[in-house]
Structure 1
Amino acid sequence: MGAVAITGANGFLGRHTRAALREQGEDARRVAVGDAFDLADATSSLEGASRLVHLAGVNRGAEEDVREQNPGFADQIAAALRQADQPPPVVVYANSIQAADGGVYGVAKARAADSLARAAADVGAEFIDLRLPNLFGEHGRPFYNAVTATFSHLLAAGGTPQVDVDRELTLLHAQNAADLLLGTVPLASQRELEEHETVSGLLERLSDQARTYATGEIPDIGTPFDRDLFNTYRSYTFPAHAPVALTKHADARGAFFEVVRSHGGPGQSSFSTTQPGVGRGDHFHRRKIERFTVLSGRATISLRRLFGDEVVEFEVTGDDPVAVDMPTFWAHKIVNTGDDVLYTSFWTNDIFDPDRPDTIAEAV
């Protein structure tokens, strides 16, 4: 794909887009806007890039900020586009379906689109005005990004979310939005990727998933929508609710314990042996759900959230079995810290496809 320049790279959709780029071995050229904007720096970031993805915006706050900052950010990027000797040939704007509703936010987004479209035309670039619906996904900000984030946060904390106004929502997982923005899936597939659900129906789905997962079991994730909702929900449960305790039954014959109960959808189990001092992993997943369970031996499971430095570690042993579920967007690995061979069970929610492995190299 080549270098991709992104504004708003540290925001919710920005992090999802950068994670999608990692699958292609790329990271974003981050372009600052607003008070941190520097024309020379922005122009340098755009030079020779294969694509510009403009994500930065203000969707909540004082009306004046929403009204002025959205087109203001676009004007800054438009200036950098016109200044570049080799501007990106494709300019993509993460617009909103509200751009046509006449509200303060919608009008501001429409003005921003016009500014970018004019600049793209001036430099001969293709302009893509991607109008996105309600986005949801892992690590969204509760009470800010989307109702899905708020419901998930409250459920994970043991709260009881309420529906204030029930209506139908058009929902799109942020990873699907990232694929559209980066051009890795056709723009014509957007409608197929969108889901329609009422606010009360969304809460019911998430509540059912929370109740099932509280027992250590995997809820029905037989559809991509339910899988994406579950990945969203469990991003709010980690690491506080990990690991998952397993009940071990032992008698004179030996020991027995259940590794996973899944309520729906495909799955694949595998098993490995690992020599002392050796590790496995150092990768992350965008959509795949994976569970590690040490059957015999001693190990350390380490996880690091993408674009952060903090590492979470779990000391696990086959004598006291637990399951550790790998959250999406967390690099993870398991290292044999014992003196004997480590025996580990792995379960994933999908059948491995070598053409689409969803296993992306990333050191913990």
Structure 2
Amino acid sequence: MKILVTGAGGFIGQNLISELRNRHYDDILECYRNTDATLLEEYCKEADFVFHLAGVNRPQNDREFEEGNLGFTETLINNLEKYGNNCPVMFASSTHATLDNAYGRSKRAAEDLIFTHAKSTNSKVLVYRFPNVFGKWCRPNYNSAIATFCYNIARDLPITVNNSSVKMNLVYIDDVVEELICGLNNKPNVVDDFCEVPTTHTTTLGKIVELIESYKKSREERSIPNMNEGLSKKLYSTYLSYLPEDQFSYDLKMNVDQRGSFTEFIKTMDRGQVSINVSKPGITKGNHWHHTKNEKFLVVSGEGVIRFRKIDSEKVITYFVNGKKMEVLDIPPGYTHNIENLGDTDMVTVMWANELFDPEKPDTYYLEV
């Protein structure tokens, strides 16, 4: 199958083409802004499916809206009809097509042209009126407020929010691509005369800014946003894609003493926290128990022993651990426990606790095993 993608270098085009290749669609005819007219004509002759994503969002003057949105669509349709190619055509329109402005009028006129083509040739067309699309590879300071906010906040640059209560309807780029590929496979989500991305998000501009700013702080606080909430998960991934390339890494606070070190890695509000414990050879750590707090230990390097004793019993339970065997030990409440390094090198243990450490209520009581 030969798939023509106009606007191949744009935000949606890049994401769509990368996923098409992931799914082994190898015969992709990529049309860019500078693609020769003769080559485009050849593409229109050969195409089995057209993703028409090319368009103008931020021109120098309003005339470019008509030239870029309506004019190019007209060229595309004329080329298809010239060669009698009645293949399906997907068209990326916008919710602005309902508005009476230069951009909206140009998109609506292009829609009418696409629908007329479908009727006259008895071909299938899929017209999507996209709301705000966000995700990786979108150009900041161009046509996406989210891309601009992510880019600027990641770099401590100022942002402008004129009205934080403005409602925004959003679709995530991966959901867009998934739906477009469904359309390619003749399974589009059709609603009346148009097609829609089934998963959308509605929020306010202020909430978006609040979330993005919290993502920046999360690196300092060693926290992770709520991955259970769809918009937050997608927005967090988007924010990370705009990090400066020299700032992918960030430091953690290591608590170091003669026994080794203890470093908090990740904190979550509802899934506890993960820390990295390093024990020097011969060192024993722990000798405490908890009422409700529970933990999981995973030794990833070195060797040692983890001992348990129920606080009202004299019986000591031992588990020998080794980084060569990935084995998780649950640390149940009511058992005092310790971990001793039996090897000649540092022992590294990944430790998970079901709650964030609260110095006012640590639920940790010293008692030797």
TM-score, with structure 2 as normaliser: 0.65
Q: Is contact 1:33-1:73 (8 Å) kept?
A: no
Could you tell me which runs of 5 or more consecutive residues in structure 2 were left unpaired when the two chains were aligned.
275-299, 303-347, 351-369
Describe the SS at the equivalent of 2:140.
coil
Structure 1 Cα separation of the partners of residues 168 and 96 of structure 2:
13
Is contact 2:171–2:200 with CA below 8 Å preserved after alignment?
Answer: yes
Q: CA deviation at 1:128?
A: 1.0
Alignment of 1:1-364 (within 5 A): 2-27=1-26, 29-32=28-31, 36-39=35-38, 41-47=39-45, 49-61=47-59, 62-84=61-83, 86-88=85-87, 90-166=88-164, 167-183=166-182, 186-188=188-190, 190=196, 192-249=198-255, 254-263=260-269
What displacement does 1:248 show? Answer: 4.1
The share of aligned pairs that are identical, in percent, is: 25
| Secondary structure, aligned partner of 1:260 | strand
Q: 1:55 touches 1:93 (CA, 8 Å); kept in 2?
A: yes
| Cα displacement (A) at 1:216 | 4.2
Q: What is the alpha-carbon distance in structure 2 between the residues aligned to residue 127 and residue 267 of structure 1?
A: 50
Shift of 1:165: 3.2
The answer to whether the 8 Å contact 1:13/1:174 transfers is yes
| Separation of aligned partners in 1, 2:137 and 2:271 | 24
Letter in 2 for 1:218: I
| Alpha-carbon shift at residue 101 of structure 1 (Å) | 1.1
What letter is aligned with 2:6? T
How far 1:87 sits from its partner (Å)?
Answer: 4.6
The 3 A distance-change label for structure 1 pair 36 and 344 is farther
Query: CA offsets, 1:108-167, max 9 Å, x none?
Result: 011112223333444432011111001111122222121111111111011342311341
Superposed CA deviations along residues 227-254 of structure 1, whole A, max 9, x for unmatched, are 1101111111142322233344555655
Q: 1:344: Cα distance to partner?
A: 12
Between Structure 1 and Structure 2, whose CA radius of gyration is higher? Answer: 2
Contact conserved, 2:134 with 2:144, CA < 8 A, in 1?
A: yes
**In 2, Cα distance between the equivalents of 1:104 and 1:178?**
27
**Using the alignment, how far apart are the partners of 1:175 and 1:242 within structure 2?**
22
Contact 2:180 / 2:188 at 8 angstroms: preserved in 1? no
Q: CA separation in 2, counterparts of 1:150 and 1:28?
A: 34
In structure 1, distance between residues paired with 2:2 and 2:272: 36
Letter aligned with residue 156 of structure 1: A
Cα distance in 2, alignment partners of residues 194 and 187 from structure 1: 13
CA distance in 1: counterparts of 2:267 and 2:21, whole angstroms: 31
SS of structure 2 residue aligned to 1:130: strand
What letter corresponds to residue 103 of structure 1 in structure 2?
Answer: N
Which is bigger in relative contact order (C-alpha 8 A, separation at least 6)? 1
1:79-112, Cα deviation, whole Å (9 max, x unpaired): 2211335553x21000001112121101101111
Q: Which ranges of 4 or more aligned residues in structure 1 deviate by more than 6 Å?
A: 265-268
Give the direction of change, closer, same or farther, for the CA distance of 1:266–1:116 in structure 2 (3 Å limit): farther
Distance 1:191 1:45, change over 3 A: closer
> Residue 259 of structure 1: CA displacement?
4.0
After superposition, the Cα gap between the structure-2 partners of 1:259 and 1:111, relative to the gap in structure 1 and judged at 3 Å, is same
**CA RMSD, aligned part only?**
3.3
Find the aligned partners of 2:220 and 2:270 in 1 and give their Cα distance: 16
Query: 1:266 offset after TM fit, Å?
Result: 11
Question: Please, which moves more after superposition, 162-171 or 77-86?
Answer: 77-86
**Taking structure 1 as reference, are residues 170 and 264 closer, same or farther at Cα in structure 2, changes over 3 Å only?**
farther
